[in-house]
Amino acid sequence: MMRFEVQHPEILDAVRRALAEDIGPGDITSAACVPAEQKALGRFVAREPLVVAGIELVPVIYRERGGVDEVELMAASGERVQAGQSLARVRGPARVLLECERVALNFLQRLSGIATLARRFVEAVEGTGCRVLDTRKTTPGLRRLEKMAAAAGGVTNHRMGLYDAVLIKNNHITVAGGVRQAIERARRLGRPIEIEVRSHAEIEEALSCGAQRLLLDNFTPEQAAAEIRFIAGRAEVEISGGVTLENVRAYAETGANFVSSGAITHSARAVDINFRLELA
C-alpha cells in the first residue's frame, strides 16, 4: 500500500496550521465539560465505501497536541474499505481526542475523497494502456498532500509545480512569439519538453522542432484520435481539457499515452468518515 510522506516539512506545516486554525488558544468547550483526567477511546469509521488516503497523518496530528496513549492504524493509504470498517483507533486524554477530531476528519475526508475519485478514473481506463495524470489544480498549501492522495488512488503524479518539468502552454507560446520560438528557448534547459498544442498546424510545428511530448488541449475524442494517428509515435501524447469521469475512457481509447484531469483534485467530494468516542 502507498504510504504518506508524513514527515515532509510541508506536511508538518500543514498539520500545525490546521490545528492552530481550529484550536487557537484552546478548546473552551472541552475544557469546561470534560475533566482533565478523563480518558477516552476514539474510532475513525468509514460510513461509505472509499479508498483511504492520509490515515498516516492521524498519529502526527495527536503528537502535535501532546500525544495520546495509543494510536492504532487499521487501514493504509490506497486501501479500499467498506462502510462500517474502522480505519484507526486512538486512546488517551479525552480533551486531546476532542480537540483533534475535526482537523483529523477534515484531512481524512478530503484526501480519501481524492483517492476515491482517482481510483474511479483509473478503473475507467483499465485495459487501454493509457495512464491517468493529476494536475496543479489543487488546494493552495495542500498540493503535496493532495497529490499523494491522488497517487494513493492509483493515478500518476504530473509535475509538482512550475519548477520540476518543462510544459510550454498557450500563453507561453503567445509571449514567446510562436511554437518554434518557445521550444528553441526552452531547449537550453536540457530537459524533456512538453508543449500544449491546439491545432493541427501547431502539432506539425512542434514535431518538426523535436518536442518529446504533445499536450492536446480541448480536442474531442474523435479529433484527438485523428491527430494521434498523424503523430504516429513521433512524440508521447497527453490529452487534457474537459476530461471527466464520463468521457475519460473515450479519450484513453484514442491511443494517447496519458490523460490528465483537474477534476481529480479540484472536484473530489469529501467522503463520509465518522469519529466515534467512548469512555475508556
CB 115 within 8 A of CB 53: yes
State which H helix or E strand residue 213 sits in. Answer: strand 213-217
DSSP result, 215-276: EEES--HHHHHHHHHHHTTSSEEEEESS--TTTHHHHHTTT-SEEE-THHHHSPPPP-EEEE
Cell of 106: 477534515
CB 237 within 8 A of CB 231: yes
From the CA atom positions of the chain, what is the Rg in Å?
A: 23
CB 266 within 8 A of CB 110: no
Name residue 247's amino acid: N
Distance (Å, whole) CA 266 – CA 134: 10
Catalytic residues: 102, 137, 169, 196, 217
CB 182 within 8 A of CB 196: no
